[in-house]
């Protein structure tokens, strides 16, 4: 398909500005102007609409296909949230208004939502206070690490180590390192979770904290979670809960009750806001009582007269991690979702996410190698079998064959501690019929691996491109079409 | 239950197939860790939630005439943008891990990277970052990695909101952050050059700067390069419709806030951080990057590339912890730039400058209202000195229906009487005239 720039026709126009009602004054010195116009495409509005409509048809989304991408929680995104986010009262609200004198009164609706969301997330997680500023899960992790560092600095602790399990998302060690910590990896035990003995081996006074996803990337709830938090606390360390998988326990159990001190929630996962092709998301961070003073500024407070205000005077705060109040438009969508589900709905979310994952686990375990053969939470992990390996069939081949059958593949080759991993997360918004069709396709592929492995290696054959050469892409780097 | 399709009967069938009860599925969580109850409200219907949120939206003042900018702008948004980005094939997809199912997102990101390079006159761009502030922080970290040094000079004409963010992010790191103080509305050459040495990783400036003043920082690029340091320039993408580009001035890394490219202000986000750089630095650049390649039939194809820099492979040695981008916002910016096109962006930028120039003449004609800086050139923002406290005047003008500007005393000492005024192409001659009358009436 041609690039936008290759469709450009000199002097063709899309949007016209109309005549100006003020004189054109040459008010800028010519030496400060660009020599020639930016080489942007010259297209009609229809050209642009057709181009992007054609591009959109080269994408799978949750609205078009089952998308069981493990750890990413590709659930349905309710349309009402999109509609509400577009209300002019929200979309056209300038973020600097509250910084004007009495300006908070101009944004009472937005501040009320931020305040209310703080209360709802506290109750859902068992934490004492939230910031909505982090703009993604990884950004929440970094914020959490900054809060951890500020806490230790305040206590005069010279700690330098963060512990993370070998099954952790790559963002955990990366976030800790960027916040200035050294990361020590703790191996998983035979049951696939961080074990007490392995943790004790690494535990010392220099440990600032631990980062854990629970349930973890194998979909397993760590039965020792409370003890792990207690052990970390015994060296004045803090326990960080990566909320990437909160959707498995939402409405059922709370990380605050497990003993965690800091929590982030991926609103684009648990609270059904759209993934947008890779963002924008939101990663609010919640903390226990003793860490509330370290939260970023500003914080929304409710005054005695019932009005809302932004509080900036927080001397122990880590400062600003976002320019304003985070991705307000995303927080708003998540707020709508929580209001619609309520307490009972959230519990049904976890139940059906877990039910769907276990259904797939049980139906496929005779055909693929389960990473761990026990009850899982929201996702289950399989490997290709030894028989498949003998035929030269890898997880990637299974993934590509699923594409030809109309399914987005599971996450493959993650977690890295499982060879040939396929991580399946169906989510609660999928029906038994959809799961049955997926299971049938997976079984058909397993049988083809024996009978006709070449067919799998040739997949996908139904898409506009097939197995692009990634090595060549990195070697002969072409990441922008530059104007000549 | 909304959004959950399994019926009670189906749930029973599935539980039977698994061989467990619903309680059994949660049996791996120790009983004492299960929550007793949640103090959350009962669920609402769509009709109820829309009605409640419409009430809350009504409590936000969006009918003010905006002369408020400060890095976040009220530009016109063509209708076709919303139609395109509302296609759920785009917004309900995720990071393009499977290129065969994501050529739409991947090609759009490649085109976005190309458009950012063409706009800034740089050679490489990433797939986007969270916002202009985090993009500046990431650029600073990138410069530290490239040079292996630990000192950074930042002029205080850079958006103060970004400066407080950078200060927050670096508190736990061993970085010598040195702030210089602008003179006459432009980055302070004497101070910057005085502090530039062989330990300096980067000089950070903004153009047009927070006060709207336009600078040519070619001299700073040359000075930085002579000491082995990099120049980071934050810019306002609309202004690049007409202004000399950071690339032409010799910048090494260019960042900025992309909100002005078709995104609503949305009370602070979601926004778009863009980043472009010189080619030789591409492997030190943070964030997703899309590259062109061919598939096994030789067809043009796009993939995520240079992933060896990233957290999912490099973990604690990654160039950044970022795991996503602001893909839908990057798409929005690309559609905006495509709809306006080469001439449209130039005209929009010129229109902003013209209207600001007109407003400047009208407002400085008011007795006792003076321009603050001696710097001659501004884009679409400028600073006025009033005969009394600016915050007070702005509060009075809100009552007359104007968000007339930003009081600079919030971030700058000694600027109690100064206000920053922004004029976009959306403001009419009539609105500007009404602001002038209103301002005169409250002084």
Residues of chain A under the 70 pLDDT cut: 26, 484
B190 Cβ under 8 Å from any chain A Cβ: no
Q: What's the confidence (pLDDT) of residue B429?
A: 98
Residues B249 and B232 in one domain: yes
Instruction: Enumerate the residues of chain B whose CB falls inside 8 A of the CB of residue A84.
Output: 49-50, 53, 57
B318 shares its domain with B361: no
Please identify among residues 373-412 of chain B the ones whose CB lies closer than 8 Å to any CB of chain A: 376-377, 379, 391-392, 394-395, 398, 403, 406-407, 410
Q: What is the pLDDT of residue B319?
A: 84
Interface test with B, best of A25, A35, A51, A52 (most B CBs within 10 A): A52
Q: What is the pLDDT of residue B309?
A: 83
Count how many pairs of residues, chain A against chain B, have C-beta atoms within 8 Å: 697
Domain boundary (B304, B335, B366) is at: B335
Nearest CA in chain B to A119: B40
State the pLDDT at residue A315.
97
Q: Region B254-266: what's the mean pLDDT?
A: 98
Model confidence at B391: pLDDT above 80:
yes
> Chain B partners of A97 at a C-beta cutoff of 8 Å?
61, 64, 68, 403
Same domain, B421 and B311: no
Q: Is B71 a member of any domain?
A: yes
Q: Is residue B235 domain-resident?
A: yes
Binned at pLDDT 50, 70 and 90, residue B37 comes out as confident
Which of B61, B270, B357 shows the shortest C-beta gap to A27?
B357
Answer yes or no: do B303 and A356 touch at CB < 8 A.
no
Domain finish residue from B335, B362, B390: B335
Rounded Cα distance between A439 and A455, Å, is: 19
Count Cα atoms within 13 angstroms, Cβ side, for B62: 22
Say if A82-340 and A349-467 have the same CATH topology. no
- Distance separating alpha carbons of residues A342 and A331, to the nearest angstrom: 16
Last residue of a domain, one of B335, B363, B389: B335
Q: What is the pLDDT of residue B135?
A: 98
> Same structural domain for residues B245 and B378?
no
Q: Domain check: are B328 and B367 in the same one?
A: no
Which of B97, B119, B270 has its CB closest to that of A330? B270
Residue B308 scores a pLDDT above 90: no
Each residue of B356-386: pLDDT tens digit? Answer: 999 999 999 999 999 999 777 999 999 999 9
The mean pLDDT value for B316-339 works out to: 92
B 286-315: CB under 8 A from A:
288-297, 299-303, 305-308, 310-315
Q: Is the pLDDT of residue B142 over 90?
A: yes
pLDDT tens, residue by residue, A104-123: 999 999 999 999 999 999 99
Residue B57 lies in a domain: no
Q: B170 and B308: one domain? A: yes
**Residue B46 domain flag:** no
**What is the least distance, in Å, from the CA of B305 to any CA of chain A?**
6
Indicate whether B203 belongs to any domain.
Answer: yes
Phi and psi at residue B289, in whole multiples of 5°? -140, 135
- Rounded to an integer, what distance in angstroms lies between the CA atom of residue B357 and that of residue B354? 5
Residue B272: CATH number of its domain: 3.40.640.10
Could you tell me which chain B residue has the CA closest to the CA of A324?
A: B268
Whether residues B284 and B413 fall in one domain: no
Measure in Å the smallest separation between the Cα of A376 and chain B Cα atoms.
8
Position B376 in a domain: yes
In this predicted model, what pLDDT tens digit does every residue of A73-83 receive, in sequence order?
A: 999 999 999 99
Of B3, B245, B300, the CB nearest to A34: B245
Phi, psi of A36 (to 5 degrees): -135, 155
Measured in angstroms, the CA of B413 and the nearest CA of chain A are apart by: 16
CATH of A349-467, one of 3.40.30.10, 1.10.520.10, 3.10.20.340, 3.90.1150.10: 3.90.1150.10
Domain spans in chain A, listed from the N-terminal domain onward:
82-340, 349-467
Name the average pLDDT for chain B.
Answer: 96
Measured between CA atoms, the residue of chain A closest to residue B405 is A100
Contact yes or no for B269 and A326 at CB 8 A:
yes
B170 and B309: one domain? yes
Substitution target in A6, A15, A164, A317 with the highest count of B β-carbons within 10 Å is A15
Please give the CATH number for the structural domain made up of A82-340. Answer: 3.40.640.10
* Mean pLDDT, residues B250-254: 98
What CATH number should be reported for the domain holding residue B351?
3.90.1150.10
pLDDT tens-place string over residues B52-65: 999 999 999 999 99
3-class SS letters over chain A: CCCHHHHCCCCCCCCCCCCCCCCCCCCCCHHHECCCCCCCCCCCHHHHHHHHHHHHCCECCCCCCCCCECCCCCCCCCHHHHHHHCCHHHHCCCCCHHHCCCHHHHEHHHHHHHHHHHHHHHHHHCCCEEECCCCCHHHHHHHHHHHHHHHHHHHCCCCCEEEEECCCCCHHHHHHHHCCCEEEEECECCCCCECHHHHHHHCCCCEEEEEEECCCCCCCCCCCHHHHHHHHHHCCCEEEEEECCHHHCCCCECHHHHCCCEEEECHHHHCCCCCCCCCCCCCCEEECHHHHHHCCCCEEEECCCCCEEEECCCCCCCCCCCCCCCCHHHHHHHHHHHHHHHHHHHHHHHHHHHHHHHHHHHHHCCCCEECCCCCCCCCEEEECCHHHHHCCCCHHHHHHHHHHCCCCCCEECCCCCCCCEEEECCCCCCCHHHHHHHHHHHHHHHHHHHHCHHHHHHCCCCCCCCCCCHHHHHHCCCCCCCCC
State whether B60 and A33 contact (CB < 8 Å). no
pLDDT at B321: 87
Q: Considering only CB atoms, which chain B residues are within 8 Å of A72? A: 94-95
Domain span including residue B320: 79-335
* B84 and B70, same domain (yes or no): no
């Amino acid at each position: 398909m041609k690039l936008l720039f290759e469709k450009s026709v000199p002097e063709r126009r899309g949007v016209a500005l109309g005549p100006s009602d003020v004189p054109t004054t040459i008010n800028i010195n010519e030496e400060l102007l660009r020599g020639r116009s930016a080489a942007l495409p010259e297209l009609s509005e229809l050209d642009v609409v057709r181009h992007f409509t054609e591009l959109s048809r080269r994408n799978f989304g949750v609205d078009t296909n089952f998308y069981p991408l493990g750890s990413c929680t590709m659930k349905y995104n309710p349309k009402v949230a999109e509609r509400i986010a577009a209300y002019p009262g929200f979309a056209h609200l300038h973020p600097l208004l509250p910084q004007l004198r009495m300006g908070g009164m101009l944004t009472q609706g937005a501040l009320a939502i931020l305040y209310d969301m703080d209360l709802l997330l506290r109750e859902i997680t068992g934490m004492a206070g939230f910031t909505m500023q982090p703009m993604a899960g990884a950004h929440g992790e970094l914020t959490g690490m900054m809060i951890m560092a500020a806490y230790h600095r305040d206590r005069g602790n010279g700690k330098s180590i963060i512990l993370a399990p070998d099954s952790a998302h790559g963002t955990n060690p990366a976030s800790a390192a960027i916040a200035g910590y050294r990361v020590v990896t703790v191996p998983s035990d035979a049951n696939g979770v961080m074990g007490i003995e392995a943790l004790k081996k690494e535990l010392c006074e220099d440990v600032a904290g631990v980062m854990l996803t629970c349930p973890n990337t194998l979909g397993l709830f760590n039965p020792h979670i409370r003890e792990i938090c207690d052990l970390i606390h015994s060296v004045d360390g803090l326990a960080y809960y990566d909320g990437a998988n909160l959707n498995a326990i939402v409405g059922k159990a709370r990380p605050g009750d497990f003993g965690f001190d800091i929590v982030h929630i991926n609103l684009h996962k648990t609270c059904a806001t759209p993934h947008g092709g890779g963002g924008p998301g939101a990663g609010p961070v919640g903390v226990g009582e003793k860490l509330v003073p370290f939260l970023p500024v500003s914080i929304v407070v409710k005054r005695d007269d019932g009005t809302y205000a932004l509080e900036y005077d927080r001397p122990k705060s880590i400062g600003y991690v976002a320019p304003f109040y985070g991705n307000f438009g995303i927080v708003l969508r998540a707020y709508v979702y929580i209001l619609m589900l309520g307490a009972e709905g959230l519990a049904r979310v976890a139940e059906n996410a877990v039910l769907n994952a276990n259904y797939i686990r049980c139906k496929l375990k005779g055909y693929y190698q389960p990473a761990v053969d026990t009850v899982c939470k929201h996702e289950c992990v399989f490997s290709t079998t030894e028989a498949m390996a003998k035929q030269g069939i890898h997880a990637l081949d299974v993934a590509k064959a699923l594409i030809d059958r109309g399914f987005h593949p599971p996450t493959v080759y993650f977690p890295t501690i499982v060879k040939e991993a396929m991580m399946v997360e169906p989510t609660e918004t999928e029906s038994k019929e959809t799961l049955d069709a997926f299971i049938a396709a997976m079984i058909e592929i397993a049988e083809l691996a024996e009978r006709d492995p070449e067919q799998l290696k040739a997949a996908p054959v139904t898409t506009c491109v097939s197995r692009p050469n990634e090595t060549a892409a990195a070697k002969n780097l072409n990441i922008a079409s530059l104007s000549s | 239950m909304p959004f959950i399709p399994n019926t009670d009967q189906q749930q029973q069938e599935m539980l039977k197939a698994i061989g467990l009860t619903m309680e059994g599925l949660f049996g791996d969580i120790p009983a004492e860790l299960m929550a007793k109850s949640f103090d959350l409200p009962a669920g609402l219907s769509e009709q109820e939630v829309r009605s409640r949120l419409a009430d809350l939206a009504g409590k936000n003042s969006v009918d003010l005439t905006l002369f408020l900018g400060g890095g976040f702008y009220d530009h016109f948004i063509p209708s076709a943008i919303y139609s395109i980005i509302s296609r759920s094939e785009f917004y309900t997809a995720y990071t393009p891990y499977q290129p065969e199912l994501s050529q739409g997102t991947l090609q759009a990101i490649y085109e976005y990277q190309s458009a950012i390079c063409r706009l800034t006159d740089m050679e490489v761009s990433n797939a986007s970052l969270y916002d202009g502030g985090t993009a500046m922080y990431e650029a600073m970290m990138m410069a530290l990695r490239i040079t292996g040094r630990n000192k950074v000079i930042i002029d205080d004409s850079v958006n103060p909101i970004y400066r407080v963010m950078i200060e927050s992010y670096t508190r736990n790191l061993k970085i010598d952050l040195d702030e210089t103080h602008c003179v006459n509305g432009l980055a302070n050459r004497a101070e910057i050059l005085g502090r530039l040495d062989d330990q300096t990783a980067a000089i950070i400036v903004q153009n047009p700067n927070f006060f709207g003043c336009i600078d040519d920082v070619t001299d700073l690029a040359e000075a930085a390069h002579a000491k082995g340091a990099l120049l980071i320039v934050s810019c306002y993408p609309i202004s690049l419709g007409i202004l000399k580009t950071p690339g032409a001035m010799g910048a090494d890394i260019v960042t900025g806030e992309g909100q002005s490219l078709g995104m609503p202000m949305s009370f602070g986000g979601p926004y778009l951080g863009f980043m472009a750089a010189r080619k030789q630095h591409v492997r030190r650049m943070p964030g997703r990057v899309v590259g062109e390649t061919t598939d096994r039939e030789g067809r043009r194809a796009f993939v995520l590339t240079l992933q060896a820099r990233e957290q999912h492979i490099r973990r604690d040695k990654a160039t950044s912890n970022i795991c996503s981008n602001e893909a839908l916002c990057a798409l929005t910016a690309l559609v905006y730039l495509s709809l306006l096109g080469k001439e449209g962006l130039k005209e929009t930028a010129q229109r902003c400058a013209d209207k600001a120039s007109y407003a400047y003449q009208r407002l400085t004609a008011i007795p006792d209202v003076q321009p603050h800086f001696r710097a001659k050139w501004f884009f679409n923002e400028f600073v006025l000195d009033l005969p009394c406290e600016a915050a007070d005047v702005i509060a009075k003008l809100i009552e007359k229906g104007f968000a007339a500007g930003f009081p600079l005393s919030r971030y700058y000492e000694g600027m109690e009487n100064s206000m920053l005024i922004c004029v976009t192409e959306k403001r009419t001659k009539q609105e500007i005239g009404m602001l002038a009358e209103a301002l005169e009436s409250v002084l």
